[in-house]
Structure 1
Amino acid sequence: MDKMQLGPWTFTPGDYSIRDKAQRIELEPLLSKLLHYFIEHPGKIISRQQLVDAIWQQSYVDDNAINRAMSELRKALQHPDVPQSLIKTHHRKGYSLQLPHQPDAPIEPSADEKPKTSAGSTQYKRSIPLWLVALATLLLVGTAAVYYFSSQKPASLSKNSKLDDKPQVLQMDIVTRQKITWFKGIESRPLLSADKQLLAYSHSQPDGTVRAIVRKLGMGTGSALQEVVIEGNNSLYSIQTWQPLSRNLLVQAISKDGQRCEYQNYDFSKYPQYQVKTLTSCAGLNFGTAQQSADGQWLYYSKGSGGLYSSNALLAENLTTGAVQTLLAAPSAGLGVTMLALSADGSKLAYILMPESNKPDIYIYDPSSREHTRLASLPFPLILLGLDWSNDQSSLILPGGDGILQLKVADKTKSLLKFPEGVIVGELTLLAEDQAYISSFTAGSASQNAMQLIKIEQPFNAAKRKITVLSDTEGSTADLAVSPIDSSSYAFSANWTGSWQLWMNNKGQNVQLTELTPDDKRLSGINWSGDGRYIAFNKQGNLHLYDTQRQQLINKLESNDVGQAVWLPDNSGLVLTRLQGNSQNLWQLDLVSNELTQLTFSAGTFAQFDAQGQLHYHRDGKLLRYVDGGKNDIELKTNADTNFMALWLLQGQKQYRFGMLGHLELHDIVTGETQSSQLPYQLLAIHPDPHNPDQLYATVFVTPELALEFIQWKPKR
């Protein structure tokens, strides 16, 4: 019988075996028959009853027999080159075979009117650049995002060292540093065309307008600056990447209401004239970048199935046929696939995979061989906004904070170019090996002066709605929680003194509660105990309690792995999100004994209690009711609308959710009624008022001033 390819495995049904380059594994006849059936139905969800009818061919088969067979088949198919199981479980639906380059159903284009592309100057509000998804995700996760190597000292390593854990750190001096853009707002995501002649970047203006700008370089001294602006009054324009070997710029255009989205190709071969071609529709805001192949036939992008906080798969769409192939299935939790970068000749695709621990894995995918190779795994949770190739294509470049990490493709060795204090690199594009255009926008640094708290009265009644900015003090304010016993008091985090501290507003008066060590790490996850005595919050992965009676700070857990925390209904302890190794789960902390008990075993975040004291949590964009932390937990909601974050906030008998484009929704559990609203703000988080259902608070994004720079460096002597 013919051989069949399953990623790294070659399956030969005739002799009941699978084989890779190093080994041959003989399968039991039942497992061979089961695998053959899955291969005949690639990518399709097969129910347990279908398996019984086709494989066992009996009227009744014990569930344990099916479970055991699936477990043994998964175990047999395990392979170091395949990060996820080839057999995927679909809760209450069945199983499917997920193979590299396995076609899925094509994405259907939107039935709405397609957005228009214009070079005009009409402005609009309620727009948000795609990289702000990274910032909002960081805010939600509530863990410390520190650059992996920012604290490493220079190391002296031999040429033969594998450098598996620590990079060779090379101190750099800045030779040239100059500002190259001057617009108000955020100028970010610099991208150089293949011939290094055109520089594209994004510009977010203070009024919310988001546009793409393309500049001609090398025009000589005294020449007028020439730029082409892509903007319009109906859509935001997010630059993605330059197509390899060309002057074609890939742009994602999204309507301001979030209902229409498409990828567009801008041909600048005759700059400043250009031609626009719509490539395909898309699902809305996503965390990551898309890439068009050198021959123009394929579009590579990441996509989540449950909104902005669900895990992303790596997909390839054939732009001729519309067929979509899954190159890498989404992990069970975490952000999944984020940044993508094609090599200059288009032969290799690099990508960042964020598992549930949000500790990035760096991979290279070879479209010709369909092989995935992991280059590195970074040991700390962080969000990287940049990924590029070196000019000679021998290394991958990852900017972050005060350094640039270089990963050699051939031997997987690492080196870190460490810049002097004051140089922040969040995004970059290389002009030469020692020259780059950079943006200082990072997931952490840009948030220091870019967030404000607002109060919204009557949020679902446009005629009576009233929005108030809570403070005009210079600096950022972020998380907020209203006292459960006093409606006139709330605790919040603010960076008003050069570092993030816990503050309290009592009857309109602001009082600083903490004097934590000054740094730029945000204080988050504020939650009051039900009796109003303690305020829990986390900072740099550590749990703190503030005793409002004794006016005393208690350092409760200094484990560097704590995220969001919520109090138990009886105030005897807290339920925590903890990041340990590659897992992100819920744990319960007893306040008296300090004993920790693990609650979930297959990923869990954003714990909450409903009005009846029942624990709920989120996993991969789904809301679940806790039963045992495993398979018996009950799935209540899954997000199918990409306008919304896949996160529900429970307050009494009500469920809230929000979107970054200003979308707001309230669902009444008792009546079943759902209300929606559109706010003129870029929402990063919402904070319901437990005393007043007609009032809530929100963290909103305020556009800071960030310009692009050109830098040149050399080794420090």
Structure 2
Amino acid sequence: MTIFLAPISHWQLGPLYYDASQRQLADTKQQLYLEPRQHQLLMCFLQTPGQVVSRDTLIMQVWQGRIVSDSAINRAVSLLRKAFSRLDNTHNYIETLPKLGYRLQLPVEMAAGETSVSTRPMIKLYRAPVLLVLVCLMLLFMAMLRPKSLEHSEDVMLLHIPSVPVTSFNGAEFHISIDRAGTKLLYHRTTDNSHTQLWLHNTITKQHQAVSDPLEDIRYGRLSPDGNQIAYVRYDDQQCQLILLHLPDDVSPLQDCPLDSVPQLIWQGDSRALYYRQRTNKTQPYHIFRLSLNSGISRQLTLTAVNYTGEGDIALALSETTQQLAVLRYNTAHSRTLLLLDSESGAVQQQHQINLAVSQLYWHGERLLLIAGSNLYQFTPQQFSLQLIYRAALPINSVALTADQLYYSSNERRASIWRKYSDSSSGAVIESSRIDSLPRIAPNGSTLVFLSNRGGHYQIWQQQQEQQPAVLAELPGEPAFARFSWHPDSSRLLLVKDGAAYTISVPDGVVKKILPAHSQIAVADWDEEGAGLVYSTVRDGDWQLWHYDLNQKTEKWLLATDGYSGRIWQGQLYYTRYHQDGLWRMSIAGGESELLLPNLDKINWLNWQLTEGRVYYYQPGNGIYRYDIQTSQQEKLMAQTGHFAHHYSVYNDQIYYVKLEPAQGDIFRVALSNTNKLKQNQEKITRAP
């Protein structure tokens, strides 16, 4: 069964509104966020209001054809009913028809514009044709004045096509690639010892075969277009090497690679060269390189501006049709620059801004497919058009394409928060079906706050004593990275997000901005008394540390160069640098800096603590340590575990830390011929009188 879904993401359902882009269900006073499964279920009902939806249809549309039990379907419907009743308990939204299925009972209307919690009524466009014409003319005029950038088109119908599972193993299959003939599909699987192993799937015989040693730690593999070679990265004893495997078992090293770099490999169409991204270390942006397999010579193709502070070139794809190299360059958490380059010289031929958090891109003929979360977009360079063409149930990890088939890996991780006690015992304190991370325990031990996406997007949650976790506050601005820390008196949090600083009172969750976004704050913490904050910024061209007095509303410079995160204790500034490992100390009154801990890794800007003369920090690959400033003694508090993410907080030698649970996900297949056919039918429908 094929269903056309309109990309208009705002719906009015009786007295409730649903914003499908945010998975937000709301009335005029409050809102809640649906889990992905309930979102898919509701979208299926919204497309067929008043009609009976069978269980078979739900399995195809919501579970993508997987075999699921009746109890799983019943539970999903029950959770959606509970969501409706929390906002409106006067109506029965979903009717159960025994042996037939379910039916949405209330009238459904597609609504235009943004849905928000507001008392203003929504404007029905079909009731206001004059207003619609005026709005369209105004938008057209504004578009003519606006710089060229690509937003995804809102007048394109979203195609939901049943996908066929290719794998269904326990765990996750990810980072897929396929040969030109479409007979060999390469993918990665995590082994029992937490290493990554390469597997090949024969699309003709449907057989799966491991092609790498499960004891080796192998990542970022890519199958060559001719299907005879695999390029991958091997990690061994703190060494990183780019390896070439001539199938079935002829292995030859190509070159070393930086341990701080996360490569992404693609092949040249003739299988004689590799393109890849690489950075020197975490403080440097990614650039694109080309490695000739014949000569062994590697050549850099892209450069970033001297004052560039983003991640650099985060994804790449090579067209066999036009020989263009497409590169995604990170701008902000919500925008990318799409560069089309000459694949030999690296010369920029086209440049476009895309206002989406795109993570991957792939050529298919003369068009590009872009991945942003669970969404798949199509970009046509000749027409400068961006269209949403597919939405998966889970975030898409990677895509592999043939002439008529699209394969994608879709998976999701779960993270929980654990506590390690002083007697070395440990146990989970925060668990959910989603990602709970960045724990911060109050200085008095009364409240634990953390980030969680269990509400459909990231929010700040709190757990007081042994009570149930609850939402503390919404993150201001657009979805993006956030960092927060406790005030010394445990009354409020300092939040840094999008370059701005905020305070959040606890437990009522009132958010107040104290420094604007143009401050360009990277890392900030309270000073020793809690009367101000120490923050780093790169707004003047190099990393500097500043102090902001909350009472006087004044700023004071602390460190002119290379200061990335700082704490104050007993009149001394303790700080880390952006470009160099180590912890330094300097008098606030001025003077020379002193190196205290040369082995404190740069990544500790996220977590290191200074509490009553003790520094707590993370040593990659080893665990969490404590350093006593007065005695200069170091002590390991917790050894690193297999699934430890370096998010932690320490209170009285109790360590709250994040444990990543094994990812779950599979590979799916979609027939591109069906996609093209549906698109042709859609165009006919659009042109029909």
Question: What's the TM-score, normalizing by structure 1?
Answer: 0.60
Pair 1:703 & 2:671 matched: no
Task: Identify which of 547, 556, 560 aligns with 2:505.
Answer: 547
Query: Which residue among 175, 178, 186 is the counterpart of 1:192?
Result: 178
- Between the aligned partners of 1:267 and 1:388, the Cα distance in structure 2 is 24
Distance 1:615 1:404 in 2: 46
* Partner AA of 2:417 in structure 1: L
The equivalent residue for 1:32 is none
Aligned-partner Cα distance in 2 for 1:436–1:186: 18
Report if aligned partners of 1:501, 1:512 keep a CA contact under 8 Å in 2.
Answer: no
Distance 1:611 1:323 in 2: 54
- Are the equivalent residues in 2 in contact too, given 1:399–1:405 (CA < 8 A)? yes
Distance 1:531 1:454 in 2: 24
Partner of 1:302: 277
CA distance in 1, matches of 2:333, 2:585: 21
- The letter for the 2-side match of 1:283 is P
**Where does residue 196 of structure 2 map in the other structure?**
210
In structure 2, the residue matched to 1:10 is: none
- Counterpart of 2:470? 512
Match of 2:494 in 1: 536
CA contact (8 A) 2:290 2:299 kept: yes
How far 1:400 sits from its partner (Å)?
0.8
Among candidates 276, 279, 284, match of residue 254 of structure 2: 279
Aligned partner of residue 663 in structure 2, secondary structure: coil
Write the deviation string for residues 333-378 of structure 1: whole angstroms up to 9, x where unpaired.
Answer: 3323332333337944433333688853333443533424452234
Amino acid at match of 2:209: V
1:469 corresponds to 2:428? yes
* CA displacement 1:425-446 (0-9 Å, x = unmatched): 443223347x5212334xxxx4
Measured at CA, do residues 689 and 243 of structure 1 come closer, stay the same or move farther in structure 2, by a change above 3 Å? same
Q: Distance in 1 between matches of 2:262 and 2:280?
A: 13
Runs of 4+ that moved beyond 6 A = 150-157, 160-163, 517-520, 539-542, 557-563, 577-588, 593-604, 623-628, 632-648
1:166 to 150, 157, 170: 150
Which among 244, 252, 256 is matched to residue 265 of structure 1? 244
- State the alpha-carbon separation in 2 of the partners of residues 616 and 515 from structure 1: 29
Which letter maps to 2:150? K
Distance 1:675 1:197, change over 3 A: farther
Query: Which of 404, 409, 415 lines up with 1:439 in the alignment?
Result: 409
Q: CA deviation at 1:642?
A: 9.8
1:22-81 Cα deviation digits (max 9, x unpaired):
xxxxxxxxxxxxxxxxxxxxxxxxxxxxxxxxxxxxxxxxxxxxxxxxxxxxxxxxxxxx
Measure, in 2, the Cα distance between the counterparts of 1:495 and 1:452: 12
Match of 1:525 in 2: 483
Task: Provide the C-alpha distance between the structure 1 equivalents of 2:341 and 2:664, rounded to a whole number of angstroms.
Answer: 37
- Residue correspondence of structure 1 range 533-682 to structure 2 within 5 A: 533-537=491-495, 544-548=502-506, 551-556=508-513, 565-575=524-534, 591=550, 608-609=567-568, 612=571, 614=573, 616=575, 618-619=577-578, 649-651=608-610, 652-654=613-615, 656-659=617-620, 664=624, 678-682=639-643
Cα distance in 2 for partners of 1:397, 1:568 equals 47
Residue matched to 2:388: 417
Cα distance between partner residues in 2 of 1:477 and 1:372: 41
Structure richer in helix, relative to its length = 2
What code does the residue aligned with 1:248 have? Q
Deviates more, 1:705-714 or 1:673-682: 673-682
Shift in CA distance, 525/643, structure 1 to aligned 2, threshold 3 Å: closer
Q: Which residue of 1 aligns with 2:362?
A: 388
On the 8 A contact 1:356/1:584 being kept in 2, the answer is no
Contact 2:578 2:602 in 1 (8 A): no
Q: Residue in 2 aligned with 1:179?
A: 165
Q: After superposition, where does 1:80-159 map in structure 2 within 5 Å?
A: none
CA distance in 1, matches of 2:407, 2:592: 49
Does 1:684 pair with 2:655? no
Aligned to 2:328: 352
2:449 alignment counterpart: 491
Provide the residue aligned with 2:376 in structure 1.
404
Match in the other structure for 2:311:
335
Which residue of the partner structure matches residue 136 of structure 1? none
> Quick one: distance in 2 between partners of 1:302 and 1:642?
23
CA 1:360–1:319 in structure 2 vs 1: closer, same or farther (change >3 Å)?
Answer: same
Amino acid at match of 2:312: G
The residue identity in structure 2 corresponding to 1:287 is V
Does the Cα contact within 8 Å between 2:397 and 2:409 map onto a contact in 1? yes
Per-residue deviation, 1:639: 9.6
Within 2, Cα distance between the matches of 1:480 and 1:164? 41
Structure 2 counterpart of 1:243, one-letter code? S
Say whether 1:428 aligns with 2:373.
Answer: no
- 2:607 & 2:537 partners in 1: Cα distance? 20
Aligned to 1:452: 416
Report the equivalent of 2:263.
288
Q: Bigger relative contact order, structure 1 or 2, given CA contacts below 8 A and separation 6+? A: 1
Distance 1:192 1:511, change over 3 A: closer
Amino acid at match of 1:571: G
* Amino acid of the structure 2 residue aligned with 1:526: F
Aligned to 1:240, which of 221, 244, 253? 221
- Verify the 8 A CA contact 1:666 1:675 in the aligned structure 2: yes
Q: What is the deviation of 1:408?
A: 4.3
Distance 1:595 1:639 in 2: 33
Q: CA shift at 1:528, angstroms?
A: 0.8
Go from structure 1 to structure 2 and tell me whether the alpha carbon gap of 1:266 and 1:421 turns closer, same or farther (over 3 Å shift): closer
Q: 1:231 to 1:636 in 2, by over 3 A?
A: farther
Q: Secondary structure at the match of 1:705?
A: strand
User: Can you list the C-alpha shifts for 1:247-270, whole angstroms capped at 9, x where unaligned?
Assistant: 422122223xx52332222334xx
1:452 and 1:702 in contact (8 A); partners too? yes
Q: RMSD of the TM alignment (CA)?
A: 5.0
Question: Is the Cα–Cα contact under 8 Å of residues 181 and 402 in structure 2 kept in the other structure?
Answer: no
Instruction: Tell me by how many angstroms 1:317 deviates.
Output: 4.6
Q: Which residue number in structure 2 is paired with residue 376 of structure 1?
A: 352
- 1:187 CA displacement: 1.8
CA distance in 1, matches of 2:226, 2:570: 59
Indicate conservation of the 8 Å contact 1:525/1:563, yes or no: no
Shift of 1:508: 3.8
CA distance in 1, matches of 2:594, 2:181: 51
Amino acid in the other structure paired with 1:398: L
Letter in 1 for 2:185: L
Partner SS state of residue 537, structure 1: strand
Alignment-derived partner of residue 105 in structure 1: none
Asked if the contact 2:260/2:279 (under 8 Å) is kept, the reply is: no
Query: Which sections of structure 2, spanning at least 5 residues, go unmatched?
Result: 1-112, 116-134
Distance in 1 of aligned mates of 2:145 and 2:505: 51
Matched residues in 2 for 1:162 and 1:522: separation? 24
Q: Label 1:228 to 1:344 Cα distance change in 2 as closer, same or farther (>3 A).
A: farther
- 1:546, CA displacement in angstroms? 3.4
Give the aligned residue type for 2:531: S
Secondary structure at the aligned position of 1:368 is classed as coil
The 1:589–1:405 alpha-carbon spacing in structure 2 relative to 1, beyond 3 Å, is farther
Write the distance in 1 (CA, Å) between the matches of 2:334 and 2:152.
Answer: 24
Tell me, in whole angstroms, the C-alpha distance in 1 between the residues paired with 2:271 and 2:650.
51
- TM-score of the superposed pair, with normalisation by structure 2: 0.62
Partner SS state of residue 707, structure 1: strand
CA offsets 1:84-143 (integer angstroms, 9 cap, x no match): xxxxxxxxxxxxxxxxxxxxxxxxxxxxxxxxxxxxxxxxxxxxxxxxxxxxxxxxxxxx
CA distance in 2 between counterparts of 1:640 and 1:299 reads 35
CA distance in 1, matches of 2:114, 2:597: 40
User: Sequence identity of aligned pairs in percent?
Assistant: 15
